[in-house]
């Protein structure tokens, strides 16, 4: 039953599961719940879906930073304003990296022919 539900989650959110990791969900069941509970569940996942909350955080931060909301609290404690921009840039880089992984295709032996030389020739040096 657990495996079936995990497959349903993967099917429903297939765009967040990369094709080059076909068996990306693993489950383990412990029949003894924590004290005081009838049952419990925990999930540890590694998906590109994390980019969605990062995008929401970035948008909210951008709107607040544009108005300089709360910035004075941080600059009063010694931060510089450029550090906010650097942090936002780092978050954008992280989102971009997750998008690249999401869009990446599985590497096959057929792809080796395309990667012989970055300059476009098959010459050996």
- Structural domains in the chain, CATH included, are 2-105 (1.10.287.600)
**Mean pLDDT of the region 27-46:** 83
Instruction: Please say if the pLDDT value at position 65 is more than 80.
Output: yes
Q: CB-based contacts of 14: which residues, under 8 Å, 6+ apart? A: none
**Is there a contact between 115 and 109 (Cβ–Cβ < 8 Å)?**
no
The two counts, helices (H) then strands (E), for the chain are 4, 0
**Confidence label for 89 from pLDDT (cuts 50, 70 and 90):** very high
**Confidence label for 124 from pLDDT (cuts 50, 70 and 90):** very low
How far apart are alpha carbons 16 and 98 in whole angstroms?
10
How much of the chain exceeds pLDDT 90, in percent?
43
Render pLDDT for 47-62 as a digit per residue (tens, 0 to 9). 788 999 999 999 999 9
pLDDT of residue 45: 74
> On the CB side of 68, how many CA atoms lie within 13 Å of its CA?
5
Within 10 Å of residue 17's Cβ, how many Cβ atoms?
19
Instruction: Please say if the pLDDT value at position 17 is more than 70.
Output: yes
Residue carrying the six token digits 């999930």: 43
Higher pLDDT, 29 or 33: 33
Higher pLDDT, 2 or 89: 89
């Amino acid at each position: 039953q657990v495996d079936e539900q995990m497959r349903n989650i993967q099917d429903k959110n297939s765009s967040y599961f990369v094709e080059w990791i076909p068996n990306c969900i693993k489950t383990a069941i412990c029949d003894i719940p924590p004290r005081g509970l009838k049952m419990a569940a925990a999930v540890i996942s590694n998906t590109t879906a994390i980019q969605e909350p990062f995008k929401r955080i970035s948008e909210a931060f951008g709107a607040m930073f544009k108005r300089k909301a709360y910035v004075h609290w941080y600059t009063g404690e010694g931060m510089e304003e450029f550090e906010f921009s650097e942090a936002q840039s780092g978050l954008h880089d992280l989102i971009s990296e997750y998008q690249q992984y999401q869009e990446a295709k599985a590497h096959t032996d057929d792809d080796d022919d395309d990667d012989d030389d970055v300059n476009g020739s098959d010459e050996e040096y």
